[in-house]
Each structure stands twice: as C-alpha cells, then as structure tokens.
Copies of this chain bind each other. A is one copy, B any other.
Amino acid sequence: MAQESENALQRKILDTARRLLISDGYAHLSMRKIAKEIGYSATTIYLHFKNKDQLVHTLIEEGVSRLHGRLLSRFNQDGEGVRKRLQNLCTEYVIFGLNNPEYYEIMYMLHPERLARYPADKYRRARKNLELLACVYQEGVEGKVFQRLDPMLAASVIWSNMHGVVSLVLSKRFDAGLDKDRVIGESIERVLRGFEPEKRKSSYL
C-alpha cells in the first residue's frame, strides 16, 4: 500500500536522523546528509516531513518519551521514603541528560525559534514529566516531608535546578577543576532541603 511504504520510508528517515543526531550532533544534522544516508534525494524528505523543524520535533517527542520511560520506572519503584524518591527522580533526570546529550540539546536547549510551531499536544506530553515530580512532591506535602506549596511550582523549581546543572555540564561551562558529580549531588540535595519544613520550633525537642 502507498501509505505503508510511506510509513516505512518515514521511519527510515527518522531512524537515520536519530542516528546522525547522536553520532554527529544537532549542529551537523542536515536534510541533505539524511537523504544521502538513505539513498534518496533531499527533497524526498519533504514529502514526509513539512520541514526540518517538524522532523526535529518528532525526535524531541521521542526524547521526551524516552525520558518519561526512565522517570516512570523510578517513579514506580517505591518502598523508600518520599524524599528519597524525589531525589531518585532528580538523579534519573540528570543521568538521562548526561547520557543523551544530543537528545537533551534538542529537547531543552534549542533556541525557541526552532520550536515556534511546536504542537500543543506535544507540549502536553513534555509536561507529564514535570507532573511526576509534582506528584511525588504532593505526596511529600501530605507526609509533612515538604512544605505546602503549589506542586507544579515546586516541580518547576526543582526541574529548573536540574536543568541548570545538566545544561552547564553539557555545554562545558563549569570550571575544569570542579568535581561535576559533587555539583550535581549538592544541587539535588540543596534544592530538596530548601523545600523541607522549618524545624526550628520542632515540638519534640
């Protein structure tokens, strides 16, 4: 069928694009290279994707759901305290970013111009990752492990902290002499501490 061959080629384009993205980085990803790799002319890609941005958006979505898979498996891994669970989610996020720098770059570091027409339903998918953090935070609020606060706000603050450390490591902005693992560990630790309840007037002392 026409549609099936269309889908097959579409998948081939995406697979090649992903491979080139990971091997050469986003800066070197070009329509012409993808085309050459799959043995078609560059214009053929435009029969399956409106433009390069749309192709990249598909890769972003892929990245988002890969990350979601990682976070979800951590999320479902209970048996530990709420604080430890949130900490694990943070660690998982950082690990994903450092292990998938090219995915991370297009997902969270690309200039917004490239995302201008990023479809709303894909944004919603991305938010699901934030909601995992928010959910655990809310649990923590109920268990008096964290201060009462809008969970999505708290999740956003935690996320932006994780993003800061990941993106600075990826873009090599930290001092060479600095132990990156310590910065990452301290980042997670400090921001979580920041949400813990004041213990000053603890009643049991």
Seen from chain A, the residues whose Cβ lies within 8 Å of a Cβ on chain B are 25-27, 105, 108-113, 115, 127, 130, 149, 152-154, 156-157, 159-165, 167-168, 170-175, 178-179, 182-183, 186-187, 189-195, 198-202, 205
- How far does the Cβ of A27 sit from chain B's closest Cβ, in whole Å? 6
Given pairs A153-B178, A161-B165, 7 additional interface contacts (CB within 8 A): A25-B113, A157-B165, A160-B161, A161-B161, A163-B168, A164-B167, A167-B167
- How far does the Cβ of A118 sit from chain B's closest Cβ, in whole Å? 10
B174 x A156 contact (CB < 8 A): yes
A167 to B167 CA separation, bound complex (whole angstroms): 9
A171 x B109 contact (CB < 8 A): yes
A160 x B156 contact (CB < 8 A): no
Main SS at interface, chain A: helix
Chain copies in the assembled complex: 2
Partner of A190, one of B172, B183, B194, B201: B194
A202 to B201 CA separation, bound complex (whole angstroms): 9
A195 to B192 CA separation, bound complex (whole angstroms): 11
B164 x A27 contact (CB < 8 A): no
